[in-house]
Structure 1
């Protein structure tokens, strides 16, 4: 599907990123395996995880190089893209997968916890995509795949920083799709459900929680990789600006915000008339305070 393409996968030292990198290589891509080798909260760093994935790809007969630059800095992110160009002579696709977690209830969240997550997820996706965009424009082709989350699309407890970043990535992706359409550049999002260390902190204190985690563990990162490979391929030439979710063997197309109900008043509105007329008329169409698990309430098979 991606024979001969040069692909950057960020955060590819483990979890979903690792499986995407392996799948890209197995389908013929030359892969930059980017990972700073940090802990889940972003602390520390090691070249080991990226190199291990590169070794796996090479052992299987594929082509790959490691990269340990951070996505959270513009100059560093640009070096990730340049690594592909220097190693393989070009860059054809970017998978923005790198991420960290600093979960905290909003009223307890620190500025540092907010900033760190936004820097890696949202700024990181922008920095890497922006560096690749120059090459994509010049060669009149390119594909970007961004990892979003139903924590942003729907909601979750204790993840205001992560949710804001992930929903921001959706808007970033749509803007890239619009702005770069004339250069044959595509941009799409995947909201993955998969067991990885990114969700390994889910509590397992009760039987119900343990049962939920056992179900999530069945959704392996390898289930997400085929869609990422497809979206990076020429076969996805007509797929642009979309959001998909992957849960085990289930792929869903996710809706995007559109007007649900409109109320018109020829003489205009006052706060009182809004209270008496507009809100009662629209209340039946209000969205409940759902979390991701409330909306995706069925077990994928």
Structure 2
């Protein structure tokens, strides 16, 4: 069927061959040509009696071409020439009256002609209406997201003040810290999704003064504990604050210097060492086998000089 949807004239043998294939392809094609001869001509512009610009304005499908052909020839299908002329006369009169009313008064009647420019106009109006509806929905969604983030920001500010008072008093901070952690998570997710919503919106929704996720919660004081005597780290990390500078605690006093070690005394004689002893407290003369240097006694004595 789609091989007939051509705005150019086909050779006679090609057209007949296509019809032969349609007739032999099944019962539906054969019955359609036998019962109503005009749909085949509607699909193929060369056999239809409609202007080319009207045929091109129809939807690009076989059903669209058939509908356009039917709209033009709807009052003359399966009628005699006399009956068709009479009905056509009344149709022309109605159309002329409709055009006159529209031109003089600007009023469109309910029975509008199914022409190509009216179909195109309705399609444009439909597209504009859909786009306006989508833009309005996107703007409402973006505005709702702004309101939710503002509400979370105000609640986070109130909880931060409550936590500060709790740190000063030393109690009542567990519930507030958990809620503040959940708020920071929700705020970060909503703030990350703003970019896609802003891209789809019309840009007419004003953005409120929203803080960045890492600036949502104010720095909180550090609670005093028993470990304050030790030096604290310079950066404090927690589940409800970002990296906040905490001055280090004073360093502990230096430990006293150790006492000098006592001088070692040797209770046993030193090993055999004949010259340049390291310490005077060692009595090397008591070591067995010691002989004074240049002694005339012993196994390595020198002969006396003459």
Compute the TM-score of the two structures, normalised by the length of structure 2. 0.19
Q: Which gives a bigger RCO, structure 1 or 2 (Cα 8 Å, sep 6+)? A: 1
Choose 1 or 2 for highest CA Rg.
2
Higher strand proportion: 1
Higher helix proportion: 2
